[in-house]
Amino acid sequence: MEIIKFDTQQELDAYAAELFINTVNEKPNAVLGLATGSTPIGIYDKIVERFNENKVSFKEATTFNLDEYVGIGPENDQSYAYYMNKHLFSHIDIPAPQTHLPNGMADDLQEETTRYDAMLAAQPVDVQLLGLGHNGHIGFNEPDVNLSGGTHAVKLKEETREANARFFSSMDEVPNYAITMGVGSILKANTIVLAVRGADKAEIVKEALTGPITTSVPASLLQTHARVIVLLDREAGRMLD
Ligand code: GLP
Q: pLDDT tens digits for the chain (241 residues)?
A: 999 999 999 999 999 999 999 999 999 999 999 999 999 999 999 999 999 999 999 999 999 999 999 999 999 999 999 999 999 999 999 999 999 999 999 999 999 999 999 999 999 999 999 999 999 999 999 999 889 899 999 999 999 999 899 989 999 999 999 999 999 999 999 999 999 999 999 999 999 999 999 999 999 999 999 999 999 999 999 999 7
- Tell me whether residue 238 is in a domain: no
- Tell me whether residue 32 is in a domain: yes
Domain count, the chain: 1
Instruction: Supply the range of the domain harboring residue 62.
Output: 2-233
The CA 162 to ligand 1 mean position distance, Å, reads: 12
Angle CA(79)–CA(105)–CA(173) in degrees, nearest 5?
50
pLDDT for the residue numbered 137: 95
- Tell me whether residue 241 is in a domain: no
142 given a catalytic annotation: yes
pLDDT for the residue numbered 145: 86
137 given a catalytic annotation: yes
- Tell me whether residue 228 is in a domain: yes
Q: How far apart are CA 75 and CA 160, in angstroms?
A: 23
Q: Are 62 and 29 in contact (CB under 8 A)?
A: yes
241: buried, middle or exposed (CB in 10 Å: 19+, 13-18, 0-12)? exposed
Angle CA(159)–CA(164)–CA(168) in degrees, nearest 5?
130
Q: What is the number of other CB atoms lying within 10 angstroms of the CB of residue 150?
A: 16
Q: How far apart are CA 61 and CA 148, in angstroms?
A: 28
- Tell me whether residue 188 is in a domain: yes
Please work out whether the CB of residue 140 comes within 6 Å of at least one atom of ligand 1. yes
Please work out whether the CB of residue 33 comes within 6 Å of at least one atom of ligand 1. no
pLDDT for the residue numbered 228: 98
pLDDT for the residue numbered 79: 96
| CATH number for the domain harbouring residue 90 | 3.40.50.1360
What is the DSSP track for the chain?
-EEEEESSHHHHHHHHHHHHHHHHHH-TT-EEEE--SSTHHHHHHHHHHHHHTTS---TT-EEEESEEESS--TTSTTSHHHHHHHHTGGGS---GGGEE---TT-S-HHHHHHHHHHHHHHS--SEEEE---TTS-BTTB---SS--SS-EEEEPPHHHHHHHGGGSSSGGGS-SEEEE--HHHHHTSSEEEEEE-SGGGHHHHHHHHHS---TTSGGGGGGG-S-EEEEEETTTTTT--
pLDDT for the residue numbered 78: 95
Please work out whether the CB of residue 164 comes within 6 Å of at least one atom of ligand 1. yes
- Tell me whether residue 140 is in a domain: yes
- Tell me whether residue 88 is in a domain: yes
Please work out whether the CB of residue 66 comes within 6 Å of at least one atom of ligand 1. yes
- Tell me whether residue 240 is in a domain: no
Q: Are 47 and 21 in contact (CB under 8 A)?
A: yes
Q: Which of 13, 67, 68, 117 is catalytic?
A: 67
